[in-house]
Structure 1
Amino acid sequence: MTSERDSETTFEEDSQPNDEVVPYSDDETEDELDSRQPGAEPGPNQTSRDGEESRDPGRKDCSWQVKANDQRFYEQPGFKRTIFLCFKKSKYAGNAIKTYKYNPITFLPLNLFEQFKRAANFYFLVLLILQSIPQITTLSWYTTLVPLLLVLGITAVKDLVDDIARHRMDNEVNNRTCEVIKDGRFKNTKWKDIKVGDIIRLKKNAFIPADILLLSSSEPNSLCYVETAELDGETNLKFKMALEATHRYLQEESALADFDGLVECEEPNNRLDKFTGTLSWRNSSYSLDADKILLRGCKIRNTDFCHGMVIFAGSDTKIMKNSGKTRFKRTKIDSLMNYMVYTIIVVLILLSAGLAIGHTYWEQQIGNSSWYLYDAQDFSPAYRGFLNFWGYIVVLNTMVPISLYVSVEVIRFGQSYFINWDLQMYYPEKDTAAKARTTTLNEQLGQIQYIFSDKTGTLTQNIMTFKKCCINGQRYGDCRDAAGQLQSHPQQVDFSWNVYADGKFLFYDHYLIEQIKSGKETEIQKFFFLLAICHTVMADASDGQLNYQAASPDEGALVTAARNFGYVFLSRTQNTITISEMGVERTYDVLAILDFNSDRKRMSVIVRESSGNIRLYCKGADTVIYERLHPKNPKREATEEALDVFANETLRTLCLCYRDISQDEFQVWNKKFVEASLATSHRDEALDRVYEEIEKNLILVGATAIEDKLQDGVPETISRLSKADIKIWVLTGDKKETAENIGFSCELLTEETAICYGEDTRQVKSQRISPALSSALLQTRLENQRNRPGSSPHSSLRMNEPFFQGSRDRALIITGSWLNEILLEKKKKKKKKLKLKFPRTAEEKKKQSEKRRRAEAYKEQQQKNFVDLACECRAVICCRVTPKQKAMVVELVKKYKKAITLAIGDGANDVNMIKTAHIGVGISGQEGMQAVMSSDYSFGQFRYLQRLLLVHGRWSYIRMCKFLRYFFYKNFAFTLVHIWYSFFNGFSAQTAYEDWFITLYNVLYSSLPVLLVGLLDQDVSDKLSLRFPRLYVLGQRDLLFNYKKFFLSLLHGAVTSLIIFFIPYGAYLKSVGQDGEAPADYQSFAVTAASSLIFVVNFQAIGLDTSYWTFVNAFSVFGSIALYFGITFDFHSAGIHVLFPSGFRFTGTAPNALRQPYLWLTLILSIAICLLPVVAQRFLSMTIWPSESDKIQRNRRQYLLEEQQWKRRQSAFRRGVSARRSAYAFSHQRGYADLISSGRSIRKRRAPLDAVLA
């Protein structure tokens, strides 16, 4: 017999050196093959269409097939998948999106399932079953059924209201329309009815409804401009381009209707910037990549219309793949309540068991010999004890508060409306009010420890403004008067002399404009000419206006500045650029564009001037420009000083320079440039090397300073949140320099902050382990050497030591690629595997399993080390992170720090992060609604976050904690009376109250006062809450509600129940009423104990647990007492007894008992003994041991007077650090130089000057 053996031979292919490091997704495999084939070679200054035609694509992973205009194609058996038993469903998703939880069919079962997951609800369901057994229960069935139905009903209504809101938001998106080809012509179709394979037409400013293959557009060469704010948070435009074949033949409606191309591509995945596939059409195959795909969530800009074929729809789209799953979020207090309910159930079982044992003993000693307790059923004492165990489970059921959860939901519901109604969180500019999109998380807003924030559109307005500059060593932009003093209200520069001037551009330095007009300063002319010629901006004349489309907001701001100062970029062609220089129009030959990338941090253009001279113009970050300057630059130091000044003002700086190139030097270099441009592998690296050869010996012209405007109130908000001991992490897809500058602008980083970059942590880690290792280069960042074989015992003792020594504020700045590397998420090399069948031996399998286990443990330790390191910093900035990485960072902090997290963002790239955090906040009023739809709370500006947390969150937490403490107290005080009563009734599971009092106690008699405490109470005002953020730490540390507070409430309730039972018991013992008869019957005693309880628990609510008095609070207390007496007298009347004799057995008890004077004395005595110790304790705590809020409340008048004199900060931009920070922050991707030089991005010929000025 022969046995087959598994083995595998692996052939590794070279991976691209600059492959983007991305985290693994479920859709990724190691077997991906990059089989792109080169297309036709481009000529000089041109690039190919990325090998768009390929006869033999040979793509192994292209298992997703889409055929145009043929829905029958998807009915084939191969495109179906089994979902349950024999039920099959198409593997192609519809285009409707779903964020709601329920539908009409699933609402009732799913909602009941969710509710019965709560321990108390499930417990009362079991209790209801027990009450149906006559041998056990001594209570009527309605005492449990009525409250349970009330609880389930109110919660269900609340959940239904929440879900209806989600349905409406989904319908708003799903019912948008676009044009789809049906029956040979375009028809308006709702988004939800779009299917894979449909041909759609999108017009200017329309959102893209699905992931589509761009077929053609109104632009030359079927170029399409899209805005990707919903994907990466950037509002700058991106370029997409159709295949030459589809551009040429698919412009008309009839041709599009006849199009029958077949796309074979990768399965749906979450990689936003990757796409691999082929289009088969007319016996030819064409290679497809990400540049030909328009993603859902993007917006068509500056393109009249475009046509596309739907590839992925609905949940299969890349934006939805990055959105994560809808999670059922529960608060920390919810979990704590569940554990406390479990604790109460355990206590209940123990008490019932003890009382049952007592009953067994009583039966043996007394019950059997008591002739008046004759029972025809001759049960043994043990069996009677067993029945009494279940009887006490029923009698003491009110220890588990049935109305607890519904009361909590009512309070949360009311608190949510307070958030919605808060006018101080209303953003009038966009008519956007704050919105609590869920009603289950309010008190968790008062316990936030970490905030994870997006940058673009969340912290900033994404508006770049040219503020200042330095030219030839002279700074411009400061608004000074004749005496050299800064002006508080400077006058704007008048640009009316310039017919091309942008009216929105503001500048205040009149001296610079005078220098420009004089024409004497050649360096100034050179400076603005450089801004006008060195860029990749596109110009378009429409409606008599000259408009710019920039690949980054920075470029747009710089070109607009040059435009206003007289150097106007008018148009460009494939090889030329036209500029108006102070009214004189000149055209220059563009010989080469040296493209920007994040490593180079600069871009250059080489132009031939009219004189025939060749000159290179360059702009970039100061750190890279200064390394390439000619040794003889007289204004080098003066410009460097200006850069320091600009950096101190947290402006984004950029250096400008040039050099002249001889004809011979250019010809030699251009030959290398063309060769590098035609390279089929490692093209980017080859071009970078060629660029380095020419970008040297530069002459410095000056520097620019751009302001990236923050949203109003961002620095103040971050400052207050930091004082509240909340750590803020910024997670952004933008560059490190950009994010760092914003960190200083919004005061997340300050002068005193020690900034630690990701790579620097190797040194920190080595110092943490052993001084001897401090100079050693660790093989991996943050490597866990403490647990490595051979590590010293000394190092293992340092496992819990902090990474940093001292108390200095620190910040950590890391990139997405570093994050993947340190967390071992780096993408592996692509492999091609040849599998042969050679099964591993048991020993080999064991070794492989052990290897995987060690790798997993190592990875987990790496993750923990990273979180420990990051959490020791006051602030963390993560740059160039993907949506999935954002969620991963949040998940790691949740996992290893057990901290309450909040994520806030405005774009679809933030959705996964928002869903992962305990609290998700969406900024509405920005582009798109994906973040808002997936959030728990939304509003119009970041600054409202401080009020949401420090006011509404803190109040909600305090109110909920007070409510819970009081609720448990009043239930223990109510229930434990039955236990004391058991010692006098032979432990027979008899109740100490009337059945209807037990039924209505939690529903009517004691519910309203405590509900109002949970809704309205506040220890200090909203202004003082904002002024003293340190008050917020109470929630972070769980100081107001925890197991200690719970057991104190239990103890307090037990003492109250003792007083309520034994004071009336002593009063009735051997007493005689006014009529000379003994009133000491059970029914009178029950009424007296119940009346004492009602007075005590209600006075406790208003007098001791309420910090903020209103008329409503007082009315609720006295109204509840009046309601108790009114209902009691009615239920004890003879009339209702006649109608329902078996349900109302206390006929005449209340009128008879309450007319006895000493009964009222008993009530007063019980109330006084219960409340006076609490009053004394409260008085002493406020005077001798006051809390922080007590101190503030006591001095509130003084603070109000100070509040009137307190002035807000005058500017959102504070002084930054004394050291200059590199700020070359262009956010466009590499490749736009290729588009321009190839001629494919040129929109139209420039309109005549007369048309522009008309």
Structure 2
Amino acid sequence: MGKKKKTDESSSSSHVTSSHPSTSTDDFSVHFVKAEEEDVITTQIRDKTASLKSNATHFSAASAAKGGMLCCRSLFSRRRVLHSRTVRVGYGPVGHDANVTFSPNTVCNQKYNIFSFVPIVLFQQFKFFLNLYFLLMACSQFIPAIQIGAPITYWGPLGFVLTITLIREAFDDFVRYLRDRDLNSEKYEKLTRDGTRVEIRSADIEVGDVIIMHKDRRVPADVVLLRTTDKSGACFIRTDQLDGETDWKLRIPVPYTQHLPNEADIMELNCEVYAEKPQKDIHAFVGTLKISVDDTVQDGSLNVENVLWANTVVASGTAIGIVVYTGRETRSVMNTTLPESKVGLLDLEVNNLTKLLFCFVLVLSSVMVVMKGLDNLWYRYLMRFILLFSYIIPISLRVNLDMAKLFYSWQIGRDKHIPETVIRSSTIPEELGRISFLLSDKTGTLTKNEMHFKKIHLGTVAFSSDAFEEVGQHVKSAYAGRLAKHSFSIKLQNAVEAIALCHNVTPIFENGETSYQAASPDEVALVKWTETVGVRLANRDLHEMSLSVQLPNGQTLQKQFKILHVFPFTSETKRMGIIVKDETTDEMTLLMKGADTVMSGMVQYNDWLDEECSNMAREGLRTLVVARKPLSQQEFDAFDRAYHAAKMSISDRSQNMANVVNRLLERDLQLLCLTGVEDRLQDQVTTSLELLRNAGIKIWMLTGDKLETAICIAKSSGLFSRSDNIHVFGNVHNRTDAHNELNNLRRKTDVALVMPGSALNVCLQYYEAEVAELVCACTAVVCCRCSPEQKAQIVQLLRKYRAPLRVAAIGDGGNDVSMIQAAHAGIGIDANEGKQASLAADFSITQFSHVCRLLLVHGRFCYKRSCALSQFVMHRGLIISTMQAIFSCVFYFASVSLYQGVLMVAYSTCYTMLPVFSLVVDRDVTATNALTYPELYKELGKGRSLSYKTFCIWVLISLYQGAVIMYGALLVFDADFIHVVSISFSALIVTELIMVAMTVHTWHWAMLLAQALSLGLYMISLILFDQYFDRQFVLSWVFVSKTTAITAVSCLPLYIVKALRRKFSPPSYAKVN
């Protein structure tokens, strides 16, 4: 076997660079060795595994929670050391692994259990300073010396906030529990040792079980595929819940077990499966399989193409597999991480203002103590005054904002103008209203990712879409066999046949219709084009591919090809290849296609490839270079031996395989053609980009495409305007080059920049701050040949050097996830390329044009409403604290509460909460005007709606109104102090309602209802709460007249000032309306 390396000696597992299948029988090449040699090697591996197990360590509850399977019963468990395992069919783990307790296959996404729920939720709440502050204030009421009024005054608001939080968390966790219970209770079939089927719950599945998974059923654990009932001898799976990709993946069963007469024969085999230690990489798996037959051992390698990951779905046939990983050791769970919680800029600003209010409480309390006179008990009075003025810090602000965010999310989700929009992060909707930079992917974001074959170039002649009929005639004549070997038609035939064979497309026949499954829409577009010119992909399975060729006389020629090896496309290699054998001529050929940057170094010398690639790119076409290489039997045998040896290696398997392919095959290829595929722009992209640009948002396009294609799309989409002076950043190899190019850019103004990813790397290495300064000054930016890591790096650059400006990122593919997660607001497009970006994003939309309404309408409304809500909640606390301060000053700085018990609790809940919260349905402009006048959006980025200036204005308003109400009540009352309470508190409530009404821009029925309910509830309280109000007095005209007069003085001047301002210096939104 030659397996001298031990799996666990490598620091990291080898990576198979694609999830697409190799359809060669050689994937499980059979070699016969002596059983004694195999046992020696197996013992070495197990000994190594045992030594690793002895180094087990414990872990804390916090580290146990990582990975998404946060189950509270894990809080006191030990960390499981991940290691490889060997399992025998019908017997489970063997050798040292037989004594290992593997992870149970239970799904547990709950955050809490019945015992930990309350402690953990309370801990999460009181780790915030303000909540802890109010807890201390409430607890202080148990100390008689500093007790002020009834304890409910302080415990009431705190209890309300905590109750809302506990109910929300309990509901969310209960939903998670129900979902977990459903998954754990799913029924599957398990093969027993005697070959019979028994039913088993998903939670009861263990490592080594042989389970049966039917079509459209979830795979409950990571399994090695042993057998499938699909006619093709393979198994298709859907992986959209794992990696977000919507295309079906082909998985290959072990050939030996697949060819057994029936499934019961599997359990009679002496078969052992070795699997590497669990890891996160879903595109890699290293394993071996050993089948002992008499005195010989059939040994083969296993890779990712032989494995079904948990939480994928069987898309075809019935699959039978042996479980190798369960529970927390499955790939899906190991890749489930708790997403980083994003905090919006508005939340940070509100937090800073709250800190100012806390300082104000300390200063005011200290002043009151000094004015009262310092004595031995000064600290007691300081605490009492802090308690009295604690309402300055709004405890309900956080709850109000959280509830408002949930309402915004609901409102966005039901907007019929942007259907199927999903809010995945309800904590940052206000961020949408302050975006300064929008970083966008190209393919599938600005374009539709719907590919159409447009052009083929053979070096001497090119054919566009209007000449494809001529291509078909040439191809049909060539297949008729009456042409010279080196004629042009033969060359065109070779090119078309190569395109028809070199791919990973599989035709699917259902209900009399044919559809194509492939890794990318480019592949499907190429195969569909060959069908239009007379060469149709008729069938494909693991080992063979057949083409149906139309001949000039109308007859059909069937060509059969045996698939010997497939080298799948990856983003790293940027190419794919296949070795096929023509069963008619027995000729073996290597066919390859890929990006010009990698293929140009593999093909024979030519003088046209680079030029034509640039020409097609300028037309906005995606190019692929197609080449071939005939292989003799000797060449193929030499490669096959070396490739098999590389596949049998345990460590660095994928790198060894790639090295063999590069060394023995990827040399001196015959260039066949250059193809051009068009990716059409999405609907309304041009108008959307213009709208966003007018809104003051700078738009950058980050793409992996070549420079010419990127420029072409930037022009056609309107990202670059006609008046823009386009500056293409030159080649940069060192610090001097970077310095010179940046100086060239500095001397230009109003330019649109095009920058290759290679140049960006060098510039960021030496001149990070300068790059941020110069690039941000450009009208538009395009970064081409950009890797996923570079996309995220650009986002971080803007966040670092352009704070506090907000950065949004939008994309549709897995290569955009890092960029989306790094941005302040990540927007994913749920489109053809898959759901990975959509699932990772904060906001998910279906097309790029929806981003305009998402930002300009909903972003504006969310930000403006939350600002108004925050200001009123703070105003509500400031005004009553001002009245308390004046009351204490008048009565010789007495630390006595002005309002007692229920009044203080009801003030911020029953009497004023609904009117203030109703501001979340207010809007200063209509949605139509917000889109018609995108310039209105520019003002939001300045943060003027909630700034230190507006905060100071509201503080002054609170001081004025509090002083008027308190002094007015003291001036007009007769003799009974209860009249002061009645007049001042009534004027306070009415003032709050009037201030809300004065702030409203557009009345909504919910606002009117909130005002009526609050006022009605207070009027009922005046009559019922006779311990606080004199019922006879409050029903008199004297009370009404005095309250009305005080309220008028507190509100009328503000109304006059506001009216004059709207008349002589109206805000922008007022001009529009």
Q: TM-score range by the shorter chain?
A: 0.7 to 0.9
Matched, 1:1085 2:980: yes
Residues 360 and 609 (structure 1 numbering): CA distance in 2 closer, same or farther, change over 3 Å? closer
Superposed counterparts of 1:992-1003, under 5 Å? 992-993=898-899, 996-1003=902-909
Query: 1:729–1:878: 8 Å Cα contact kept in structure 2?
Result: no
Query: 1:95–1:192: 8 Å Cα contact kept in structure 2?
Result: yes
For residues 630-659 of structure 1, the C-alpha deviation after alignment (integer angstroms, 9 at most, x for no partner) is: 9999xx79x978x7775455332446689x
- Give the corresponding residue for 1:134: 144
Out of 306, 318, 342, which is 1:292 matched to? 306
Out of 641, 662, 678, which is 1:707 matched to? 678
- Give the corresponding residue for 1:147: 157
Superposed counterparts of 1:799-818, under 5 Å? 806-812=749-755, 814=757
Matched, 1:536 2:502: yes
CA shift, 1:212, in A, is 2.1
For residues 233-268 of structure 1, the C-alpha deviation after alignment (integer angstroms, 9 at most, x for no partner) is: 55556554444444455x633233456755444332
Give the total of aligned pairs: 987
- Give the corresponding residue for 1:1229: none
- Give the corresponding residue for 2:1060: 1176
> 2:754, 2:871 → 1: CA distance?
39
Residues 640 and 867 (structure 1 numbering): CA distance in 2 closer, same or farther, change over 3 Å? closer
Out of 557, 561, 574, which is 1:585 matched to? 557
For residues 1142-1197 of structure 1, the C-alpha deviation after alignment (integer angstroms, 9 at most, x for no partner) is: x5464644345835856644443343345433443454431xxx34x344x24xxx
Residues 195 and 1164 (structure 1 numbering): CA distance in 2 closer, same or farther, change over 3 Å? same
CA shift, 1:964, in A, is 1.0
- Give the corresponding residue for 2:1048: 1164
**TM-score, structure 1 normalization:** 0.67
Matched, 1:554 2:567: no
For residues 207-245 of structure 1, the C-alpha deviation after alignment (integer angstroms, 9 at most, x for no partner) is: 544332222334699644455555565555655444444
Query: 1:425–1:944: 8 Å Cα contact kept in structure 2?
Result: yes
Residues 400 and 541 (structure 1 numbering): CA distance in 2 closer, same or farther, change over 3 Å? closer
Matched, 1:424 2:434: no
Matched, 1:211 2:181: no
CA shift, 1:1002, in A, is 1.6
- Give the corresponding residue for 2:430: 443
Query: 1:532–1:563: 8 Å Cα contact kept in structure 2?
Result: no
> 1:963, 1:656 → 2: CA distance?
61
> 1:459, 1:74 → 2: CA distance?
54
> 2:936, 2:237 → 1: CA distance?
46
- Give the corresponding residue for 1:780: none
- Give the corresponding residue for 2:344: 331
Matched, 1:1154 2:1070: no
For residues 834-888 of structure 1, the C-alpha deviation after alignment (integer angstroms, 9 at most, x for no partner) is: xxxxxxxxxxxxxxxxxxxxxxxxx9x9998998898788557687967x99888
> 1:950, 1:1060 → 2: CA distance?
40
Out of 394, 404, 418, which is 1:401 matched to? 394
Query: 2:437–2:699: 8 Å Cα contact kept in structure 1?
Result: yes
- Give the corresponding residue for 1:1226: none
> 1:455, 1:516 → 2: CA distance?
35
Matched, 1:1106 2:1005: no
Matched, 1:766 2:671: no
Out of 311, 317, 322, which is 1:309 matched to? 322
| Equivalent AA in structure 1 for residue 105 of structure 2 | G
Residues 331 and 203 (structure 1 numbering): CA distance in 2 closer, same or farther, change over 3 Å? same
> 1:1129, 1:937 → 2: CA distance?
49
CA shift, 1:575, in A, is 8.9
Matched, 1:256 2:276: no
- Give the corresponding residue for 1:354: 367
Residues 601 and 146 (structure 1 numbering): CA distance in 2 closer, same or farther, change over 3 Å? closer
Query: 1:68–1:259: 8 Å Cα contact kept in structure 2?
Result: no
CA shift, 1:960, in A, is 0.3
| Equivalent AA in structure 1 for residue 557 of structure 2 | E
Residues 602 and 354 (structure 1 numbering): CA distance in 2 closer, same or farther, change over 3 Å? closer
- Give the corresponding residue for 1:386: 379
Which stretches in structure 1 are left out of the alignment for 5+ residues? Answer: 1-14, 16-26, 37-41, 81-89, 362-380, 427-432, 479-507, 776-797, 824-858, 1069-1077, 1133-1142, 1195-1254
| Equivalent AA in structure 2 for residue 1083 of structure 1 | I
Percent identical across equivalent pairs?
25
Residues 192 and 618 (structure 1 numbering): CA distance in 2 closer, same or farther, change over 3 Å? closer
For residues 968-987 of structure 1, the C-alpha deviation after alignment (integer angstroms, 9 at most, x for no partner) is: 12321221122122222110
> 2:884, 2:791 → 1: CA distance?
55
| Equivalent AA in structure 2 for residue 382 of structure 1 | N
Q: Secondary structure of 2:987's match?
A: helix
> 1:886, 1:172 → 2: CA distance?
39
Matched, 1:202 2:181: no
| Equivalent AA in structure 1 for residue 349 of structure 2 | L
- Give the corresponding residue for 1:1136: none
Q: Secondary structure of 2:146's match?
A: coil
CA shift, 1:956, in A, is 0.8
Matched, 1:650 2:555: no
Q: Secondary structure of 2:1007's match?
A: helix
> 1:1020, 1:737 → 2: CA distance?
42
| Equivalent AA in structure 2 for residue 1150 of structure 1 | V
- Give the corresponding residue for 1:1045: 950
> 2:242, 2:680 → 1: CA distance?
21
Residues 318 and 388 (structure 1 numbering): CA distance in 2 closer, same or farther, change over 3 Å? same
| Equivalent AA in structure 2 for residue 1110 of structure 1 | H
Query: 2:229–2:317: 8 Å Cα contact kept in structure 1?
Result: yes
Residues 91 and 963 (structure 1 numbering): CA distance in 2 closer, same or farther, change over 3 Å? same
CA shift, 1:96, in A, is 1.9
| Equivalent AA in structure 2 for residue 465 of structure 1 | H
> 1:254, 1:606 → 2: CA distance?
35
Out of 403, 407, 420, which is 1:410 matched to? 403
Superposed counterparts of 1:545-944, under 5 Å? 550=518, 552-570=520-538, 578-582=547-551, 583-585=555-557, 587=559, 647-654=617-624, 671-672=634-635, 674-679=637-642, 684-685=658-659, 687-688=661-662, 694-696=668-670, 704-708=675-679, 712-713=683-684, 717=688, 720-721=691-692, 724=695, 760=731, 762-763=733-734, 765-767=735-737, 806-812=749-755, 814=757, 874=780, 900=806, 919=825, 936-944=842-850
Out of 881, 893, 896, which is 1:975 matched to? 881
Residues 606 and 94 (structure 1 numbering): CA distance in 2 closer, same or farther, change over 3 Å? closer
Of structures 1 and 2, the one with the larger relative CO (CA 8 A, separation 6+) is 1
Query: 1:1059–1:1169: 8 Å Cα contact kept in structure 2?
Result: no
> 2:858, 2:198 → 1: CA distance?
48
Q: Secondary structure of 2:336's match?
A: coil
Query: 1:323–1:911: 8 Å Cα contact kept in structure 2?
Result: no
Q: Which has the larger radius of gyration?
A: 1
Residues 49 and 225 (structure 1 numbering): CA distance in 2 closer, same or farther, change over 3 Å? same
> 1:1023, 1:738 → 2: CA distance?
35
Query: 1:200–1:309: 8 Å Cα contact kept in structure 2?
Result: yes
Out of 1062, 1079, 1088, which is 2:967 matched to? 1062
> 2:910, 2:668 → 1: CA distance?
85
For residues 484-506 of structure 1, the C-alpha deviation after alignment (integer angstroms, 9 at most, x for no partner) is: xxxxxxxxxxxxxxxxxxxxxxx
- Give the corresponding residue for 2:465: 477
- Give the corresponding residue for 2:69: none
- Give the corresponding residue for 2:77: none
- Greater mean alpha carbon deviation, residues 889-898 or residues 417-426: 889-898
> 2:683, 2:979 → 1: CA distance?
67
CA shift, 1:417, in A, is 2.2
Residues 53 and 1007 (structure 1 numbering): CA distance in 2 closer, same or farther, change over 3 Å? farther
> 2:797, 2:368 → 1: CA distance?
48
CA shift, 1:739, in A, is 8.7
> 1:75, 1:360 → 2: CA distance?
82
- Greater mean alpha carbon deviation, residues 546-555 or residues 1165-1174: 546-555
**TM-score, structure 2 normalization:** 0.77
> 1:167, 1:673 → 2: CA distance?
56
> 2:727, 2:262 → 1: CA distance?
58
> 1:208, 1:753 → 2: CA distance?
55
- Give the corresponding residue for 2:1025: 1131
| Equivalent AA in structure 1 for residue 432 of structure 2 | L
